Amino acid sequence: MKYALITGGTSGIGAAYAKELASRGYNIVITGRRREVIEKKASEIRERFKVEVEVVLADFTQREELDRLLKRVEVMDIEFLVNNVGFGNKKVFLEDTYESQKKMLDVQIDAMCRITHMVSKKMKASGRGNIINVSSLAAFTPASFNHLYSASKSFIVTFSEALYIDLMESGVGVQVVCPGFTKTDFHREMDIEEKTFENRGLVRWMEADKVVEISLKKMERGGGICIPGTCNKILYLLLKFLPRGVYYKMAKRMSM
Ligand SMILES: NC(=O)c1ccc[n+]([C@@H]2O[C@H](COP(=O)([O-])OP(=O)(O)OC[C@H]3O[C@@H](n4cnc5c(N)ncnc54)[C@H](OP(=O)(O)O)[C@@H]3O)[C@@H](O)[C@H]2O)c1
């Protein structure tokens, strides 16, 4: 029985992957912390696509809860993995305790690596599978309000590209997707004002479904990095070629 594991399937981008992969016939395993919301999402997918949907409640900042998920996944045949769990900084690095800031590393780096390590080894042995790691355009935009968010998303890009190169020609595809601003629960969780959700210049808000559609279409052609949306691609290229000194000054001005 073929399974897709999507971490953070409660809402937003993860829920969109779960829906899209269910429509392609995968049985689904989704994880999250909000019990009622995720159970509702699971029932909707079961009813609409007639596939099995299993919910694993796990807070990735809690080691024993992540261990429980890994134990469950170890005995399953996961053919598609989407490492999607993530959250934004509520406090800046130097105005918070290190223990609180470290949760970002536990969730976006340690949990992602542990799940990938277990699942990709099995995929490599069987010679088939797909892995999508959800990073962000923030991987390329370090700023004084997002130290560990931006740095961990940057880690996800580098790690995923290394895995992609490693598993090339093994039958296992690896993609790292870097969405720009996307309408999900992400910014609401961060208590960001509603007016922030407006298009400005090259900043274009995308729907989660569109991000997922582009990511999966690109995955069919092969792995590597995926930047969904034309404006996001332009931003990515501008950031890549902008002299660092100019970027630093811009980023400093924008954070004031
Ligand atoms: N929205 C954007 O503009 C944007 C842009 C670029 C990249 N991204 C990335 O896209 C990914 C998905 O985010 P989203 O925008 O779809 O936001 P979202 O709607 O808030 O979804 C985040 C998911 O992660 C789960 N999650 C958060 N913290 C967790 C923790 N400590 N342990 C376990 N699960 C946890 C949430 O589950 P519960 O709510 O059930 O806890 C939820 O399912 C993230 O990696 C984010 O960094 C988002």
Domain ranges of the chain: 3-254
- What pLDDT, on a 0 to 100 scale, did the predictor assign at position 193? 66
Q: If residue 79 lies in a helix (H) or strand (E), which one and from where to where? A: strand 78-83
* Ligand 1 binding pocket includes 53 (Cβ within 6 Å): no
Helices 147-167, 98-105: axis angle to 10 degrees equals: 30
Question: Percent of the chain scored above 70 by pLDDT?
Answer: 98
CATH superfamily entry for domain 3-254: NAD(P)-binding Rossmann-like Domain (3.40.50.720)
Is the pLDDT at 93 greater than 90, yes or no? yes
What average pLDDT score do residues 188-206 get?
79
Distance in angstroms (rounded) separating the CA atoms of residues 108 and 85:
7
Provide the phi-psi class of 178: left if phi over 0, else alpha when psi is between -120 and 50, else beta. beta
Contact 152, 113 (CB under 8 A): no
- Amino acid 198: pLDDT: 86
Q: Which residue has the higher pLDDT, 46 or 191?
A: 46
Residue 168 confidence (pLDDT): 96
Is residue 236 annotated as a catalytic residue, yes or no?
no
Distance 15 CA to ligand 1 centre (A): 10
Residue 112 clears pLDDT 70, i.e. is over it: yes
pLDDT score at 116 = 98
Question: Most distant CA pair in the chain: distance in Å?
Answer: 54
Is the pLDDT at 79 greater than 90? The verdict is yes
CA distances from 9 to 57, 200, 215 (A): 10, 29, 16
Q: Where would I find the H helices in 34-143?
A: 35-49, 63-74, 98-105, 112-126
* 193: Cα separation from own chain's centroid: 23
Please tell me which residue in 149, 236, 247, 248 is annotated as part of the active site: 149
pLDDT over 80 (residue 244): yes
